[in-house]
Amino acid sequence: MTLLVVLACVLLAVLLLYHGLGFWAWVLPAFAVLAWCAWSNPDDRPVYGWIGIAVLTLAIVAGLPPVRRVLLGAPLLRLLAPIFPKMSDTERIALEAGTVWWDAELFSGRPNWKRIVEFAPLPLSEKERKFLDGPCKQLCEMIDDNAIRRDGDLPKEVWDFIKREKFMGMIIPEAQGGLGFSAVANSSVVAMLSSRSVTASVTVMVPNSLGPAELLLHYGTEEQKRYYLPKLANGEEVPCFALTEPHAGSDAGGMLSKGVVQKGVFEGKETLGLSLTWNKRYITLAPVATVLGLAFRLYDPDKLLGGDVDRGITCALIPTKTKGVVIGHRHDPLSIPFQNGPTSGDNVFVPIDWIIGGPEMAGQGWRMLMECLSAGRSISLPANSVGGAQLATRVVSAYAAIREQFNMAIGRFEGVEQPVARIGGTMYWMNALRVVTAGSVDAGEKPAVVSAIAKCWSTEAMRRVIDDAMDITGGAGICKGPRNTLAAAYQAVPIGITVEGANILTRTMIVFGQGAIRCHPFALKEMQAAAARDVKHFDAAFFGHVEFVFTNMARSLVLGLTGGMFASVPSGGRAAWTMKKLTRMSATFALLSDAAMGTLGGSLKRKEKITGRLADALAWMYIACAVVNRHVADGGKRDQAYFEWATAEALYNVQEALRGVLDNLPNRAAALALRPFAFPLGARLRPPTDRTTAACARAMIEGGEGRARLTAAMFVPGAKDPGLGRLERALELTLSVDPLRKKLRDAQKAKILPRDTEDAVLDEAVRKNVLTQAERDRVLEAWKARDDAIQVDDYAPGEYRKQRG
């Protein structure tokens, strides 16, 4: 009986921890056990009484903060303060920049689903919709991407149109001459353009991302804003921003470019200024820029500005006509001819007032860059990836429906169904991720961690989508020319993966490395309190952290045993099932994150395989949240196959990432002890089923509203377009005659019609009244359209050399 009481009390402790009772979750069951033992063993009551006094004493010491602070908090602070990792100013600024958002919910182990589900991205305004339907589509219609890649640049009329319609000023407010678009609208424009031309989308994307306009809006002096913003908006000034250099890529803080504060002569007058020396590369728009945003380390050896000699990273705006500025040379990024190249300067003297924000902002460049990076990273590359992936989705769904082998559309073969479905399901979550992350910027967030997730996982997803699309289209995908709509996207994939923080670094160091400290409810507070030797705040953070670990241990166990059954979620259906599973994964993620931090300490930052897996888990949970948000916003009924595929994929990837952490945690004793709490019934989640895969593939190749919604952000050209336009026309005609083609197949099975050439079968069908003459003409028109759409480009020798440039 006593054993049963003890087990019941242990269960009570677990349940109390599950519900967040924390410290008292073990005190109350302990007193219950002692009371039972004293009642059932009268002779030993004095012993149990002394044990009760000891438990009560421990409860007072550990449970009352003023007492605990003196007896435990202060000694622990002295012991642990030297162990906590020290933060450099660069790391501190990066951590403090931006805001935490849904990522904090996922780190909590107890996501607030009401907050996640009810978040509504800002809808497009009437003005933004008119721009998308007007100038944006006009620009897409003007573009011949094959000619752009052949000629090495956008045509002059396209450049002029981009400037005249203020594509470069989407983020600049109307009062300062720009369009004043929302982040979602900015994202939608980039997505549409990238579905037509990577070169055009990058040309528009970069001025509206991290660069002169963004920095001026937040930090520029009023004089700088008045002068530059209207000219940047209408294209009179073409900006670039020079950050990367040969010895400072992902480690931008290690740049060698420098500026020295000194007096000199500028335009005939003695001026306090900067002598700048730099050597930058990979700078988009640099070859054609009229104004150069430059990041450099500033030194003030004579202390003309006061303060330290090394003032830190600083940003300035330099007209490229300034004497000594070198631009014009171009890189060739995988034959995608957006303007990109190096820039350099040697002892270029400029006035001190050219620092963005004026002399007062000297040395504040790193903070400026970190605070603005999250907004641009939330928009540009996720949108660019979505546009390219939507193009591939549209191409593949049409091609798989019209391309036939063995008298059947290739999309009906199970081997092809799988990549077709993978494209559709991936496209569904990519667009959800794009809209939600851009929407967070409109809501006033600067989401440092989720913007990194959006950039990294969107560009990786585009790589997978394009690879699948190339596999499905086969020879039609690899023969370049006007008919080929995938080659440019395939060539451009590594560009998005490399820029704005290479994905390898983003995954292994930024997403979890920054997220673990910034989003964790206690980690940053502990570090700050330890650095300040603040006993009160350290005590609260440290013991809050201990309580947090045991709470998540209990929650992970209970939710793992019940499949998340008891998790509280705000809606029903498949979305509710997904949210319950995500709640369970969130608790396990929080537990294993603390286990990794606790057992590895400061060396965790060097265990990039572990941090990479934890980043995978966090990213896929965030992606699943975005999918749930989209599905609930759609009423919980539309695009069910895509939703089920995307959530199954995300949940399975979370599970496998967390299993990988346990399988490879260096402290094997800790891993062994945690496994029953993390996966008490084993790994039970599975990837998308064959049934879900088949449903996704059918929805893709059968056209209809689901396919249209999946590719709603892209530009769909008319029938005269040699690439996608031809495919779309062939698909439309093919779907319209499917019932007639079924009649032909049935007649052939019944031996009424022979198996012969298309023309012969159709003529015989009319003679035998299987089809009318009008029906025969419709079927033949569809056949000719299919035959035309699957052709590829070829060239005479002279034409081939011209095509190659």
List active site positions.
Answer: 500
Q: Which of 213, 284, 276, 204 minimizes the C-alpha distance to 243?
A: 284
Q: How far is CA 229 from the centre of its chain?
A: 29
User: Degrees (nearest 5) of the Cα angle 395, 396, 401?
Assistant: 105
Q: How many CB atoms lie within 10 A of CB 766?
A: 15
Cα separation of 493 and 503, whole Å? Answer: 12
Cα separation of 106 and 567, whole Å? Answer: 14
Return the beta strands (E) in 156-289 as ranges.
239-242, 258-266, 269-284
Q: What are phi and psi of 358, to 5 degrees?
A: 80, 180
Return the DSSP state at 246.
T
What's the half-sphere exposure (Cβ side, CA atoms, 13 Å) at 212?
34
Helical (H) or strand (E) element with 404: strand 404-405
Maximum Cα–Cα distance across the chain: 108
DSSP class per residue in 122-139: PPPPHHHHHHIIIIIHHH
Query: What are the counts of helices (DSSP H) followed by strands (DSSP E) for the chain?
Result: 36, 8
Return the beta strands (E) in 243-398 as ranges.
258-266, 269-284, 291-299, 310-319, 340-351
Helical (H) or strand (E) element with 408: strand 408-409
Paired tokens of 393: 């989705």
Residues, the chain, total? 805
Task: Specify the pairing of strand 310-319 against strand 291-299.
Answer: antiparallel
Q: What are phi and psi of 210, to 5 degrees?
A: -65, 120
